[in-house]
Chain A
Amino acid sequence: MRREEKDSGQTRIMSRRRFVQGMAAGAGFTAYQWIGRSVLGEIVPSKPAVLTGAHFDLTIDSITVNFTGRPSRATAVNGSTPGPVLRWREGDTVTISLANRLKHATSIHWHGVRVPADMDGVPGLSFDGIPPGETFEYRFPVRQSGTYWYHSHSGFQEQTGLIGALIIDPRDHDPIEFDREYVVLLSDWTDANPETIFRNLKAQSDYYNYHRLTLPNFISASKKDGFGSTVSQRLAWARMNMSPTDISDVTGAAYTYLLNGHAPNANWTGLFHAGERIRLRFINGSSMTFFDVRVPGLKMTVVQADGNDVEPVTVDEFRIGIAETYDVIVQPQDEAAYAIFAQSEDRSGFARGTLAPRMGITAAVPPMGPFPMRTMADMGMGNMKGMKMGDMKGMDMSGMAGMNMPGMTTTQKNMPKSTKPAAASQNIAAMKMDRSDMPGMELGRDTATTPLPQPGPDATPIMPMSGMADTEARLTSSNAVHLHVGPQVDNVAMEASERLNEPGDGLTGNGRRVLAYGDLRARYRGVDGRPPTRDIELHLSGNMERYIWGFNGKKFADAEPIELKLGERVRFVLINDTMMEHPIHLHGLWSELENGHGEFNPYKHTVIVKPAERLTYLVTADTPGQWAYHCHFAFHMDAGMFCTVVVKP
């Protein structure tokens, strides 16, 4: 249970501080302090606040900020970036009145929140966007709990600062026990105009990569691995005109990485008492950056992912993809300072904060890890030469633990233990769901034509009507995709493999226990026990050199919408033909990652697909409408990696 009294007692200690970022410029300097819930009640102009309740008035405006030593313009919510923490309660109907004071249209998308399609905030799909000077009212019931976030879905406003944390408290008690909590919102800030960044990438895709292979690299690699093998490795990449250093498109060369809107030197600090269980709600609100997060000296127990509780798993480090959230518990036993260290995947910079028993104490910031390299495995060349040991280890592990070749055994795993149709239990399920805000659900039907509840202690699954043999027979791959290379596709993975138990490039062999997707086991049974009726296969494709991205080799403009029938349950099969991870976000519906835990597969809203990975998740199309489906790399989305999923009644 939360101990609110204690928290409010602590609040006073955290008076306003002035931050000096160590930059030369002083004039026009604006710093934002943002200390999660503990700053509640403080009145400081242009400081992100925590807003609670059921009605919210938000104003989008352009403000001057200074994160780098130079003043720059940002897109703000209620005068701050990141915007205020919104705190909702499950079961409430919330209204958000959003006023646009920009010169351009704006929007807010409630990332991971299951809302009616017209409340989803995607211009062109959910609504027309909010024109300058106008106000739009969002209104919808909140049927879930957990850590989420919100951001603009217009232009590059997300990159220019229109992001914020969204916390939904459970209706009843929170099963996660903690004494104190902090939001840790990570982001990537640039003083540059995002359109300029986009243009630079189109003109030279490695514009921001300052880890490219050089002649001295070649000489030292030759000395280490031998001249012949180094030449053959370089030639293997050269033949494809690709680079093993292609980790991040936009790097620390353009970005200052922020933690709760604080540059590393500004050192955001959260206070604690020794022995407390601190819940850190990590949100990756960046546009182009994956972060590898750790708190040196403390174990982190992951208790929630993408707003859904998971069985606690204790790690030293985790990778957080763009738009993902992880809630972790740390429990420092000493009255000492601990660094929250989030380095970008390409090690070109880091976001940093501090957990401390009192203000002013800092912890040593660890050095950044070595720059990761892509391997032939990332190109989908399987076990060919050039592959590193770390990856082989990862693959072996995945072979042992994962074991779910989607489309074969997973269906079985997802079936409830009892194979009999069990009309009685079905009725119970339907009735229970009725109770949890599900009007219109017909008793005895095994469909999901109204939104299913989030898995939880009180949610009961719908059972499948038919036997397993039947459903296996009905399972068809609706679209076999045969890609070929061309202007939109620079590579087709010869061998896409399951990589659920690999933490990711740059995270193997560092001596730390790093979270992998295979570790995520839902705390509560999934609510839709039905097997999927068809597979929807999608290749994540792109041409890095041209900086064109898409699904199945098609940019959004050329792609047909993916059509789902209301109530149907389908399997998305994603095959990543590119050399980069892609955080794929399906709006409006959960993505139930098939990571080998069967009924306890985790519910996610954003799923990282690694290079040359084949990954699957199940989707219940229980909310009608047009939904955005896209890569959450802002510039990949804008370069075409976006399509529409239509759920038709």
Chain B
Amino acid sequence: MAVVLVLSAGSIQQVSAQMSMPSAGTKDSMMENAVITHARLDQFEGRTSGSENEFSWDGEGWIGTDMNKLWVKSEGFSDNSKLSDGDHEALYDRPIPRLRYFDAQVGVRADLDSGPHRAWAALGIEGLAPGYFEIAPTLYIRDRGNVAGRIVASYDLLLTQRWIAQPEAELNFYSKDDPGRQIGSGLSDLDAGLRLRYELSRKFAPYIGFAYDGRYGNTASYSRHAGETTNGSQFVFGLRIWY
């Protein structure tokens, strides 16, 4: 965490240094510092285990230049008009000096769904680890010493130029129990999936796959207490869409 803080402090200095640079020449006709937008729904899917059905989404978008971006991330589940695991983040993003493929991100996370709401400060990095792994570990902090962590990782395995298998996993950790949201301390849950998509175009890819949902420790206890299962796999089908 300290490392991340130092990095973001360094980036802010660089921002101000860049702003004081005189503008030169033909810049207005160039795109190099153009503000670019990108949005992507990686998961926009129905999940079914035969007896239970739910809908889930996981998307992200950004707007900005090479060196300064605003990121928005959102994910959640919906089942019979109840929203759960709703997680929405707004982050300032900046490439980390001396690293080729990683960005530092700092901002806020809001847990907004049918349960009690929570707000967190968020600090993380996101990028491409050697071997073409997308990885994003993030640390969250809120009042009274509540700390949470999340790691999201994925990999694109090309079966052909258009058939792509994507293993993906998300792990969540919490420092303290939060009975209101049925979350226990320690490793609380894992959401893993294997999705096979067909890229009709880069921007439009239907997919099918399996998802595994597991809850652990006190989180599992909360689930059992509420009469829910603590783990299970589901068949998923959905769309991966870009803007």
Q: Which residues of B contact A557 (CB under 8 A)?
A: 18, 21, 23-24, 27, 32-33
A545 pairs with B128, CB closer than 8 A: yes
Contact with B along A614-649 (1 / 0, CB 8 A): 000000000000101000000001111010100000
Shortest Cβ distance from A155 into B: residue: B29
Contact of A207 among B37, B159, B202 (CB under 8 A): B202
B159 pairs with A215, CB closer than 8 A: yes
Cα separation A276 to B50 with both chains bound (whole Å)? 77
Q: Which residues of A contact B34 (CB under 8 A)?
A: 198
B159 pairs with A214, CB closer than 8 A: yes
Contact of A214 among B18, B100, B158 (CB under 8 A): B158
Of the stretches B90-98, B118-126, B179-187, B188-196, the one at the interface is B90-98
Expressed in whole angstroms, the minimum distance between the Cβ of A125 and any Cβ of chain B is: 5
Contact with B along A470-510 (1 / 0, CB 8 A): 00000000000000111101100000000000000000000
Any B CB within 8 A of the CB of A200: yes
Any A CB within 8 A of the CB of B101: yes
Cα separation A638 to B30 with both chains bound (whole Å)? 5
Shortest Cβ distance from B17 into A: residue: A558
Contact with A along B23-67 (1 / 0, CB 8 A): 111111111111011101000000000000000000000000011
B18 pairs with A215, CB closer than 8 A: no
Q: Which residues of B contact A195 (CB under 8 A)?
A: 31
Any A CB within 8 A of the CB of B157: yes
Any B CB within 8 A of the CB of A151: no
A558 pairs with B21, CB closer than 8 A: yes
Any B CB within 8 A of the CB of A153: yes
A485 pairs with B32, CB closer than 8 A: no
Contact with B along A231-272 (1 / 0, CB 8 A): 000010011110000000000000000000000000000000
Contact with A along B135-173 (1 / 0, CB 8 A): 000000000000000000000011111000000000000
Q: How large is the interface on B (under 10, 10 to 19, 20 to 34, 35 or more residues)?
A: 35 or more
Expressed in whole angstroms, the minimum distance between the Cβ of B197 and any Cβ of chain A is: 14
Expressed in whole angstroms, the minimum distance between the Cβ of B152 and any Cβ of chain A is: 18
Cα separation A125 to B29 with both chains bound (whole Å)? 11
Any B CB within 8 A of the CB of A199: yes
Any B CB within 8 A of the CB of A37: no
Any A CB within 8 A of the CB of B99: yes
Cα separation A547 to B99 with both chains bound (whole Å)? 15
Cα separation A558 to B26 with both chains bound (whole Å)? 13
Cα separation A238 to B96 with both chains bound (whole Å)? 20
Any A CB within 8 A of the CB of B131: yes
Given known contacts A486-B99, A543-B100, A640-B32, is B131 in contact with A239 (CB within 8 Å)?
Answer: yes
Any A CB within 8 A of the CB of B212: no
Cα separation A214 to B28 with both chains bound (whole Å)? 40
Interface hub of B18, B25, B38 (most chain A Cβ within 10 A): B25
Expressed in whole angstroms, the minimum distance between the Cβ of A128 and any Cβ of chain B is: 10
A239 pairs with B67, CB closer than 8 A: no
Q: Which residues of B contact A123 (CB under 8 A)?
A: 26, 28-29
Given contacts A125-B25, A241-B128, 16 further A-B contacts (CB under 8 A): A123-B29, A198-B34, A202-B38, A203-B242, A212-B161, A214-B160, A239-B131, A485-B99, A486-B99, A487-B96, A545-B101, A546-B95, A556-B32, A557-B18, A638-B30, A638-B32
Residues of chain B whose beta carbon lies under 8 Å from any beta carbon of chain A: 18, 21, 23-34, 36-38, 40, 66-67, 95-101, 128, 130-132, 157-161, 202, 242
Residues of chain A whose beta carbon lies under 8 Å from any beta carbon of chain B: 105, 122-125, 129, 153-155, 195, 198-200, 202-204, 207, 210-216, 235, 238-241, 484-487, 489-490, 543, 545-546, 548, 555-558, 561, 626, 628, 637-640, 642, 644
Q: List 10 A-B contacts (CB under 8 A).
A: A203-B36, A203-B242, A212-B161, A215-B159, A241-B101, A487-B67, A490-B100, A545-B101, A556-B30, A637-B30
Q: Please give me the 3 A-B residue pairs with the lowest Cβ-Cβ distance, nearest first.
A: A124-B26, A487-B95, A638-B31
